[in-house]
Structure 1
Amino acid sequence: MNNDLGFFDYLIFAVYFLLVSGYGYWVYRRKKKTVTNTKDFFLAEGSLTWWAIGASLIASNISAEQFIGMSGNGFFAGIAVAAYEWVAAIALIIIAVWFIPIYLKNRIFTMPQFLKVRYNETVALIMAIFWLFLYIFVNLTSILYLGAVAINGLTGGHYLHEIMIGLSIFAIIITLGGMKVIGYTDVIQVTVLIIGGLATTYMALTLVSEKFGLGRDALAGFNMLLKDAPEHFEMIIPKPGPGSTQLEIDKYLILPG
């Protein structure tokens, strides 16, 4: 397999970045208002369609953490690393049906707003500052770094700092207008994520099939995994006991949640 990127590979990268950032800036300019408020920024004036909200929800929670970090954990421990998402799906339904209407009725759009109403402005300010620092210096930096490392590896390992700067600028552009921009650009993002995820899965299964001399057959590769590594397809890993091996303990400890 050829691991070197060619002209068309770089062209796809460029088109993708220009398309998303350009579309985000266009939405920002088109919907820009002289005076904006909290509802405009966080709820996009209520103008987002259901499919844009759904796409934004998925795209906002899938990043380099999942494509790189959780893929590595999945290789080590199996699909049990994603088991907590079942609970998240149930929690989202409960929040959407019973909690969100109450928040919207009371014009509460963010967690600091809720804390201000429930307690006082000091508590809201502490929470806002804490989460800003956490996201900027822990969450977002790790995501940008992991994405930069992945792209840097594909491009030959010489442009890490340039890529991180580029990704940072790209992130700023698409967040200029709050949810107005993010909601619509996430439709593009989630489309790319789904296509890229399916393509990556197909290529990985094809490589497994080739490794075992079964030709370029993704289904044969999947069946080989089921046969040789059935424990990787268990959603629930039993709690380790006194007689458990170190490998079983390590797999259990890395599970999220």
Structure 2
Amino acid sequence: MTQIDWIILIGTLLFIVSYGAYKTKGSKNVTDYIKGGSEAKWWTIGLSVMATQASAITFLSTPGQAFHSGMGFVQFYFGLPIAMVVICLVFIPIYHRLKVFTAYEYLESRFDLKTRSLAAILFLIQRGLAAGITIFAPAIILSAVLGWNLTMLNIIIGVLVIIYTVSGGTKAVSVTQKQQMAVIFGGMFVAFYLIVSYLPADISFSKALKIAGASGKMEVLDFSFNLDNRYTFWSGIIGGTFLALSYFGTDQSQVQRYLSGKSIKEMQLGLIFNGLLKVPMQFFILLVGVMVFVFYQFNASPLNFNPTATEIVKNSEYSKEYEVLENKHKDLEILKSEANLKYGNNLDDPILVKEIQHLNLLEKENRETAKELIKKADADAETNDKDYVFIHFILNNLPRGLIGLLLAVILSAAMSSTASELNALASTTAMDLYKRNVKVERTDAHYVSMSKWFTLAWGLIAILVACFANLFDNLIQLVNIIGSIFYGNVLGIFLLAFFIKYVKSNAVFIAALITQAIVILGWWQDWMPYLWLNLFGCAVVMFIAILIQGLTKNNNKLNS
């Protein structure tokens, strides 16, 4: 990190924080603070919805996911456009007609207070955890790579977000997210251009795609029905649709983004804009990861991208064995580079494809052996290095100034998602729990003040979660796993409310409690890939609620 990198990084972050606080200071009523005055245009809604979902995890983990597993992860998002259409036609008109501040208000009008409170509490649990992870994700990776103090990074990111989110509420989140998305898109396009320009002179972009394809990185679609495959066309279309319906239709961090819209039309256009742009955006980010993979076919890469794990094993009794694996890795890289250069000049040679695939298999086995050594050196060491791939490329290959810009991209994404989450957590706590259970009538100014205090409190909780979190298999998967455990159940409650009118509150409440226990057990016992938990949870709560309601109705008939 040079002086110019520090100037760009700090300047970008301070501008976003100060601009957001300045532009939105002085919200005097609840409508202004929680719904942004209900005056947002469709493009603001669309960018805000996208920025809320596109956390730092997206820009750290997704390229690493593509580096290791290829483009198949994009199937995860195939259900999103379908969900956007359903939400525009069903959810938005109901929310707008009832003039709700949170999604869970509707559940009280349809069922009762306890059902509303349960749905709100389920949201607070999963989103509170997720808020901590969106802070923790960039912090742990930057601390490992740059040597910065992890706890201090967690606190800095959290405090920066708290400053403008407490100050301006929903409007501050929406205003700053436009700047953050500009930084994010600009940085990613620059990174992509540079990666392609760093390839050997006779390897064009089209040849790079062919080289990636030879290594199996361009296999976008998997139509198999194998449940062992986490990402398939069917899990994306079915499980992804239910996850997106739950997330965008019932998660207050997203609902609050479009409830700030000026009209139904602006809200709907904002979500359609997100639905049309989201899949291409994720495809592009994955493609960046694939191009990083191609780059490392012709340039040296570490045996393990996590520098902390490498340091652990090199300072242990297994250092000599690890050195042998590193030397083997270097030899394999030379052979791979030669084979890929030959293939780049003779793209129709199936023998070269087989050679490349064989060398990839040997490299993978060598990397797995290295991970086993790291675990022997320290059982608690994190051997998974997917989340470190892209940041390693940034720090070791980009020119001065652009390193600061890409770090600003990562931290901006962390701030945008965390701001939306804190804003939604505070709104739900204030409106669904505090206001609804306080018997004394209070002024608007009081609820604005309490919303700010709740924002501060959730910000501190998120920082604490970040400080005590541990790195999971892959951070982008961790966030989606947490969501999938809760989302299906909540979505089922809303679908019962919308479409199954004869089901009453007690049946839904009991079914939701039972379903949540079943889904947690199913995840713990690994019954199915996590994406299917969304459909499973939704189906189970609806089935149990309908069953309980039917039994209750029959009992009433027998007793009458």
Range of TM-score over shorter length: 0.7 to 0.9
CA 1:216–1:157: 2 relative to 1, 3 Å? farther
1:234 corresponds to: 219
2:192 to 186, 201, 217: 201
Q: CA deviation at 1:222?
A: 3.2
- Equivalent AA in structure 2 for residue 233 of structure 1: M
CA contact (8 A) 1:76 1:251 kept: no
1:169 corresponds to: 159
1:85-132 deviation digits (Å, cap 9, x = unpaired)? 231122113312443122101112422212222211122222222222
CA 1:223–1:239: 2 relative to 1, 3 Å? closer
TM-score normalised to the size of structure 2? 0.39
CA 1:217–1:146: 2 relative to 1, 3 Å? farther
Separation in structure 2 between the aligned mates of residue 67 and residue 251 of structure 1, nearest angstrom? 19
User: Mind listing any 5+ residue stretches in structure 2 that lack a counterpart?
Assistant: 236-476, 478-528, 532-560
Q: Does 2:13 match 1:17? A: yes
Separation in structure 2 between the aligned mates of residue 97 and residue 195 of structure 1, nearest angstrom? 33
2:142 to 128, 147, 151: 151
- Range with greater deviation from structure 2 (53-62 or 142-151): 142-151
2:106 corresponds to: 114
CA contact (8 A) 1:24 1:173 kept: no
1:41 to 33, 46, 60: 33
1:244 corresponds to: none
Q: CA deviation at 1:256?
A: 7.0
1:245 corresponds to: none
CA contact (8 A) 1:24 1:174 kept: yes
- Equivalent AA in structure 2 for residue 101 of structure 1: P
CA 1:251–1:112: 2 relative to 1, 3 Å? closer
- Equivalent AA in structure 2 for residue 239 of structure 1: S
Rg: which structure is higher? 2
CA contact (8 A) 1:175 1:182 kept: yes
Computed over aligned residues only, the root mean square deviation of the Cα atoms, in angstroms, reads: 2.8
Q: What pairs with 1:78-89 in structure 2 (closer than 5 Å)? A: 78-89=70-81
Q: Does 2:131 match 1:140? A: yes
2:352 corresponds to: none
CA contact (8 A) 2:17 2:164 kept: yes
CA 1:109–1:78: 2 relative to 1, 3 Å? farther
Displacement over 4 Å in runs of 4+: 248-256
Separation in structure 2 between the aligned mates of residue 73 and residue 162 of structure 1, nearest angstrom? 27
Q: CA deviation at 1:53?
A: 1.1
Q: What pairs with 1:36-115 in structure 2 (closer than 5 Å)? A: 36-37=29-30, 39-115=31-107
User: Mind listing any 5+ residue stretches in structure 1 that lack a counterpart?
Assistant: 242-247
Separation in structure 1 between the aligned mates of residue 188 and residue 3 of structure 2, nearest angstrom? 22
CA 1:162–1:79: 2 relative to 1, 3 Å? same
Separation in structure 1 between the aligned mates of residue 97 and residue 210 of structure 2, nearest angstrom? 53
CA 1:235–1:174: 2 relative to 1, 3 Å? farther
1:18-64 deviation digits (Å, cap 9, x = unpaired)? 111101111231xx233x22x43342111212221111011111012
Q: CA deviation at 1:165?
A: 0.6
- Equivalent AA in structure 1 for residue 147 of structure 2: G
- Equivalent AA in structure 2 for residue 145 of structure 1: F
Separation in structure 2 between the aligned mates of residue 182 and residue 221 of structure 1, nearest angstrom? 42
Separation in structure 2 between the aligned mates of residue 218 and residue 202 of structure 1, nearest angstrom? 12
2:272 corresponds to: none
Q: What pairs with 1:117-128 in structure 2 (closer than 5 Å)? A: 117-128=109-120
Identity of aligned residues (%): 21
Which secondary structure does the structure 2 equivalent of 1:215 belong to? coil
Separation in structure 1 between the aligned mates of residue 72 and residue 209 of structure 2, nearest angstrom? 19
1:179 corresponds to: 170
- Equivalent AA in structure 1 for residue 224 of structure 2: K
CA contact (8 A) 2:98 2:106 kept: no
CA 1:54–1:15: 2 relative to 1, 3 Å? same
